[in-house]
Amino acid sequence: MRELYPTRYNNEDYTDENLLYKNQLIDTPTLSRSLTYLYGNDSELFPLLSLTEGQNGLTSVAPKEMNDTQYTWNVVGRMKHTTKVVGLANASNVKPGVGFSMFEIDFEDNTLNKYFSVTSPDKQSTARLQSALVPLANGKYRGKFKLITGDPTAYISLDNFLNSQSWVMGISSIPQSKSGGTTANSMTPGKWTNQYSAYRFSKPIAGNVSNKAVNIEFDLDNGKKTNLWMPWDMRQFEIDRRKMIEEDLWNSTYNRTAQGVISLIDDETGEPVSKGAGIKEILKTTGQYDTYGTLTLSKLDSILTQLFTNRVDDKPMELVLYTGAGGMRQINEAIKVDAQANNYYYKLSGEEIMSGKDGYLSYGKYFNQYKTIDGHIVTFKRAKLFDQGSYAEMDRANGRMYKGLPYESYNIILLDMSMNDNGERNIQVVTEKGRKMTVGIYRGMAELPGVWGAIPEKLISLATKKDEASYEVIGTQGVNICNYTTSYYLEFLN
């Protein structure tokens, strides 16, 4: 077997007859008119678009201001009760609190309220804040405390005062009579911002290419076949367009400074080019991020427990784990290692080794769900985007491979796809109101292909005198995670 001519990537400005002749697609009939797909079906390349389109996950919102690209949403967190310690005010005090003595502690903020208790990080000591915290010149706060104990020899171990250790506030303690009032903390809503990205795709053609048949028979998505070039060419155009849109929702980088300035300017128009944060950057920015080399079940279980704990309402949580073939193998191996450590050898072998036809054995069953000790179920979904997307393509080209798969294939992203009280998805693809996506045809004298849709009568006003035409797509998009604390990004770094 030999290759007669290679499959080619074409980046010509126009699709016309010359492209077909150049790639030997127009010639005498051949015996086989079926196309062998070298890289398989592309239907699973769009996990985010597929799970948002048609499932209340596509939202159109107005920008903050006219001619702006930013959008905002409100968030509110749980009440905060922890505060980070700076250290003892008196560094020479080696037994703070001993003999019921007063001692002073410096904290990073003024979370603690007068008369409330505070517990040390080792949970062995509880003290009462005797008076309100006093602000210091360095921006820290100092308080006077006494241990809550009946043991005169009790004191707080010094390792509890290491910088940035977190202490926690508890209930207030008051005398039985003549007590004064206390103060209370509150959590006010916050606001997050992201911005739309605008995109445009064009498909120019020239001449009579819309009516040209080629020497290969193409399978179309509707199950039909065609020898016309343009239906197949437009299928490639649409798949590539949707793949780039999908990948941008995952990988895009926010490009507005803290002062609100966009430094990326289009040379031709002089207008700013805005880009919003994608899924990966949102989770990195909010601290919902970690790395791994070899996945363990304890690490996965720890992350899942954290995510389920962060969900405080009564709505059922739809947590979906997205990864490629590499991540699926890591997860499967982590579960098997844990199962084997618990001596589940017989059960595992019975499930994995099966009797096939004609006396042959079949080997291979793999985990695709995980149930936590709290009864929560997580579904593992392999997304071909992680295996066949452009980042995976780049990994292959750069040799960033592990056990035959690109690094991107091992990345794991957990997304909370649940509905909120307003009936909206937690993960939303956002478009600018009034500019979701617009499709137009820039028409000249070139014959328009039927795959472009309904074509008006022949005698129409033309946009250009040239023998050409162009299919145009323009739109805006961004991604929004309403509650980011229930999603997570686990990046593979070998």
CATH architecture of 82-172: Beta Barrel (2.40)
* Selection from 152-161, 225-234, 312-321, 368-377 with the highest mean pLDDT: 152-161
pLDDT of 4 higher than 60: no
Q: For residues 125 and 156, is the Cβ–Cβ distance under 8 A?
A: yes
Distance separating alpha carbons of residues 168 and 159, to the nearest angstrom: 16
Per the structure block, which two tokens stand in for 390? 């452009």
DSSP output for 195-242: E-EEEEEEEEEETTGGG-EEEEEEEPTTS-EEEEHHHHHHHHHHHHHH
Percent of the chain exceeding pLDDT 90 equals 30
Upper half-sphere CA count for residue 39 (Cβ side, 13 Å) = 12
Distance separating alpha carbons of residues 279 and 117, to the nearest angstrom: 40
- pLDDT at position 187 is 66
Distance separating alpha carbons of residues 51 and 427, to the nearest angstrom: 9
By DSSP bridging, strand 225-228 and strand 166-172 are: unpaired
| Per-residue pLDDT reduced to its tens digit, 195-245 | 888 888 888 988 888 888 888 888 777 778 888 888 888 888 888 888 898
Closest CA to 380 of 306, 464, 296, 322: 322
Beta-bridge partner residues of 491: 291
Band of residue 96 on the pLDDT scale cut at 50, 70, 90: very high
- pLDDT at position 44 is 64
Closest CA to 471 of 494, 451, 485: 451
The pLDDT mean for the chain works out to: 80
Per the structure block, which two tokens stand in for 434? 């009034």
Domains of the chain, by residue range, sit at 1-75+186-494, 82-172
More confident residue, 81 or 435: 81
- pLDDT at position 59 is 54
Distance separating alpha carbons of residues 449 and 467, to the nearest angstrom: 14
pLDDT of 56 higher than 50: no
